[in-house]
Amino acid sequence: MISKVPNIACWMTKTIRAPKERSMKNSLINVKAQLITLTLLCCTIIGATAAETPIETEMTDGGKAIIVFASGPLQAMTEIPFTIELKNNTGEMIKDAELTLDLTMPFMPMPPNNPKAVWQDNAYRGTAIFTMAGAWQVNVEVNRPEAETEKIIFDIEMVTMK
């Protein structure tokens, strides 16, 4: 029996035709083009997500607290703008709170690092400076009229060296 498909070995005659050199060259060029395209796509996706660093945690009433740093990865000794959104358990924005922030490293004593956060443009806004690389916490006290003070902790896995 003879195969009618070119470049396929015929089992009776055991002949194998070598692929043409041009065909192999075109295949390599095609593979390189695909790898370059994939690399560019990955860089675009990573670049788009690395622009901000959001961290979310739950509040005691079932609401959500979200802090978003304007850059990523977070770097030590760099002014980093941030926003904090507080939402109650129905998803409504909490606008009447006064926030007290304390940035600290959980495993070592730190001097006071208390950036201000004020309500502006539908979020609490401020600027943070992390003084060294490592794991950090942003401790937030939420003081509202006619409500108990709530304490929120945002864990930051890593701040890198500048």
pLDDT tens, 67-80? 999 999 999 999 99
What local confidence, expressed as pLDDT, does residue 41 receive?
A: 45
Q: Do 58 and 125 belong together in one domain?
A: yes
Closest C-alpha among 62, 69, 63 to residue 103: 69
Q: Do 120 and 139 belong together in one domain?
A: yes
Q: Do 16 and 94 belong together in one domain?
A: no
The total domain count for the chain is 2
The boundaries of the domain holding residue 16 are 1-49
What local confidence, expressed as pLDDT, does residue 42 receive?
A: 43
Q: Do 39 and 76 belong together in one domain?
A: no
What local confidence, expressed as pLDDT, does residue 18 receive?
A: 55
Cα 103-45-65 angle, rounded to 5 deg: 35
Between 43 and 92, the more confident residue is 92
136-155 pLDDT per residue, tens: 999 999 999 989 999 999 99
Taking 70 as the threshold, does the pLDDT of residue 28 lie above it? Answer: no
How far is the C-alpha of 70 from the C-alpha of 14, rounded, in Å? 65
Between 105 and 45, the more confident residue is 105
Angstrom CA distances, 106 to 110, 120, 138, 146, 157, stand at 9, 29, 10, 31, 11
**Average pLDDT value for the chain:** 82
Confidence of residue 45 (pLDDT cuts 50, 70, 90): very low
Confidence of residue 27 (pLDDT cuts 50, 70, 90): low
Between 33 and 58, the more confident residue is 58
Tell me, what CATH number does 96's domain have?
2.60.40.1930
Q: Do 63 and 8 belong together in one domain?
A: no
Q: Do 62 and 36 belong together in one domain?
A: no
What local confidence, expressed as pLDDT, does residue 51 receive?
A: 78
Q: Do 35 and 79 belong together in one domain?
A: no
Q: Do 86 and 150 belong together in one domain?
A: yes
What local confidence, expressed as pLDDT, does residue 17 receive?
A: 59
Measured from the Cβ of residue 148, the count of other Cβ atoms closer than 10 Å reads: 8
